[in-house]
Chains A and B, each alone.
Chain A
Amino acid sequence: MLLLSIFGFTFAQDNLEELKRQLEEQRRQIRELEKKIEALEKQKPEATKEVKKEQEPAPTDRSLQLRSKYDERLKALQITPTSQRSFLNLSLIVDTSFVARNKNDREFKHLEIPGLYHRHEGNGHGHGTLNEKRGFNLNYAELYLYAPVDPYFDLYATIPFSEDGAEVEEAYAVTRGLPFGFQFKVGKFRSSFGRLNAQHPHAWDFANPPLVYKVFLGDDGLKEKGVQLNWLAPTPFYLLFGMEVLQGENEQSFGTEGFKVNTKDDGSGTDITIGDTKKPNLYVGFVKTSFDVGNLSFLTGLSFATGHTRIDHLDGDHPHAFAGKTKLYGFDLTAKYMIDSYRDISLQGEYLYRDQKGTKYEYDDSTLETDELKKKQGGFYTQLVFKFDKRWRAGVQYNLINKNDVKKNGVKEDLPNNLPAYYAMLEYSPTEFSRIRFQVGQNRAFFHDGKRETVNEFILQFNFAIGAHGAHPF
């Protein structure tokens, strides 16, 4: 036994010696390899230079043959227009502001527009309410990505980050090869309803969305999952028809999720269940046309949206819910006069009208009341923006909601129908990639406990963009 163990030990030691030798051998090999790599690396720059030289199309030679080969290579890459030579166009847009307001943040949060708008705690991601707090705001840091997928589709994505998180605001593909003037869009996108809705906030002429957009489409606008088909008519002037089938989850006018409401506010009564809407829920149609008269360009459009509505604010301070149907109508007109390459005057306006019918569930002294509600509401904004220098723009915007007819069980409610807001801005853009905007405004549409609360506001807004060159707006 002992002998065996001694033998075993010596054998092990032999093995150890053998291992040590092998290790030493391997170390030597590694050193040799390292030396070889070093030597190769020294040669490498010259080698790559040579390869580069070969790849570059002969510079002084104007031979078309070479160029068309180059052309072929670009064709294979499916480059984006006007040759930004990369597979992905990426940009980051940062919007930050300083706000001074005559209402403190708590007061401001609890303001409402009777029959039209009240604040409900949302998820707080994405754009949400811009310039919400007094003092400094980081409105968003928005990631924008664009690239052709293949010869058949382009893909776009907009991902705004807020301090609390990120949201996929838009992620959609658009066809690039449909015949006969058709184009198809699928994914989540800003609806082409109206003029301003499809534009990103950084392309807006004022720091906040117009009042009619806020009340009918919400602070984020109408952005939905779905599809769009549009057709550009073969006319000598611009004429575009389009329709969209959308999920219809918009918090101000639509919504898909049903709810359960108890006849007593303490839950001791019986439950009434309102089912989900059919999904998809929202249908949008639009027609847009444009024509020029000399240096004056007109762009005008009609839009229509129809869908079911589910609003569930049962968890709020004043629990209530609504189920019904909503129709939205929009008319927009832009007239832009180009003075020269740097100066223009633009007059733009939109009228929005909402026709909403349904049942409102609300507690009155702890018992549930169900009321038949009919809303016919409308308003507009109109703005004049003068770009008087390559770097400077000034503008005024007038907002008015002038129709606010709400009938509860056939009886007209006494609601204000003269809800204006005024804004003026002065903008300085050192380049196309940076912008500083001063905006002053007065909003006389807000109420608190039935009393009108005038909001005076000053906003200093900074907007920066890095990355791919964005297009100039019309």
Chain B
Amino acid sequence: MRVLAVLLLLFSISFAQLKVIATYPWIGELVKEVGKDRVSLYVIAKGTDDPHFVVPKPSHIAKMRDADLLIVQGASLEVGFLPPLLQQSNNPKIQPGRQGYLDLSQFVDLIEKPVNISRAMGDVHPEGNPHYQLDPHNIPPLAKAIEERLCQLDSPNCAHYRGNLEDFLKRWNARLTEWDREFAKLKGIKVIQYHKLYDYLLQRYGMVLVGTLEPLPGIPPTGKHIEGLISQAQGVKFILQDVYHEKRTAQFVAQRLNAKVVILPHEVGAVPEAKDLFSLFDEILRRLSQ
């Protein structure tokens, strides 16, 4: 028994780094901040991907096989690609319900939770709007949630994770005060967005959403809908355009409304300037302030 314990200890030391998989880059950034050199990280999606349409490549399965922790955004955002990957990963540790599965959507208050749901309403998520990473105030509790889970899985390094978290929160909260001050200047401006992607940011800073280019979530713009939108919208300053959808519709609407198309990163890596979580919000602010 003692020999076994020693062997196990040796085993765990030789594989000291905790293997973490994050579905999206921004989650990966949080893992980097909290875990630093004690974790090895693999991120499934790219920053430029449409988060709803990530290809379930078999190469991801190989990475998931030995993972200790899988961190997901949740709220059905990954429903199109994660279940088959998880099922084929042959890894009991990261299955939903186990300690190695962390769903971050449980640590934020999701908005736009539908009262009743039907596919006739488009791609509506029953849990609410899943793009909650764009409210910078949501980041600290999520960092804390990741720190807690890392501590549970890897208690010898807990002090390390706690230290990293404190350091991160200090830097984040400092920036948060600045962002709050700067974003406050945008309060009340009217915007149109392609998909309901930036709602958390808009709600946090009191920007007014006039409409979306999509008639229903996940359904591409139609002529009729766009005409309706143009006839109703007045005083729209920005058309918020994500990096992965077509940009012609936004340009057309902007021209008609005398508004400006702003390509806004939704995610770390969506545009080259958004290198990490800090620069993501810096860049969003910069692009909205011009």
Contact = CB atoms under 8 A, between A and B. Distances in A.
A203 to B, nearest CB: 11
A292 B59 contact: yes
How many chain B residues sit at the interface, stated as a range, is 35 or more
A83 B76 contact: yes
Contact of A471 (B49, B61, B81, B145): B81
A338 B105 contact: no
A448 interface: no
A469 B92 CA distance: 23
B62 A176 contact: no
B58 interface: yes
A297 B55 CA distance: 10
Given A183-B90, A431-B219, A82 B95 contact: no
6 contacts: A83-B74, A151-B97, A230-B90, A235-B62, A342-B244, A472-B81
B96 A81 contact: yes
B283 interface: no
Contacts of B219: 430-431
Contacts of B65: 181, 232, 234
Contacts of A469: 76, 79-80
Count chain A CB atoms within 10 A of each CB in B56, B95, B127, B220 and give the residue with the most: B95
Given A182-B90, A292-B57, A67 B105 contact: no
How many chain A residues sit at the interface, stated as a range, is 35 or more
B109 A60 contact: yes
Count chain B CB atoms within 10 A of each CB in A80, A83, A239 and give the residue with the most: A83
A347 interface: no
A260 interface: no
Nearest to A63: B141
Nearest to A341: B50
Interface string B48-87: 1110011111110111011000001011111111111011
A299 interface: yes
B78 A81 contact: yes
A181 B127 contact: no
Contacts of B79: 81-82, 84, 469, 471
Contacts of A64: 107, 141, 144-145, 148
A344 interface: yes
Contact of B59 (A78, A237, A391): A237
Contact of A75 (B48, B50, B97): B97
Contact of A81 (B48, B82, B141, B145): B82
A382 to B, nearest CB: 20
Contact of A239 (B50, B62, B80, B96): B62
A474 B80 contact: no
A83 B57 contact: no
Interface of B: 48-50, 53-59, 61-63, 65-66, 72, 74-84, 86-92, 95-98, 103, 105-109, 119, 122-123, 126-127, 141, 144-145, 148, 218-220, 244
Contacts of B144: 64
Contact of B53 (A67, A80, A341): A341
Given A431-B218, A466-B119, A469-B76, A177 B62 contact: no
A470 to B, nearest CB: 8
B84 A342 contact: no
Contact of A474 (B55, B78, B122): B55
B62 A236 contact: yes
A472 B80 contact: yes
Given A60-B109, A230-B90, A234-B65, A472 B55 contact: yes
Contacts of A466: 119
A406 B119 CA distance: 54
Instruction: State the 7 A-B residue pairs at the shortest beta-carbon distance, nearest first.
Output: A290-B58, A341-B50, A177-B92, A238-B62, A238-B58, A471-B84, A232-B90
A466 B50 CA distance: 23
Nearest to B59: A292
Contact of A237 (B62, B103, B107): B62
Contacts of B218: 431
A79 interface: yes
Contacts of A432: 80
A83 B127 contact: yes
Count chain B CB atoms within 10 A of each CB in A82, A182, A342, A471 and give the residue with the most: A82
Interface string A46-87: 000000000000011010100110110011011111111100
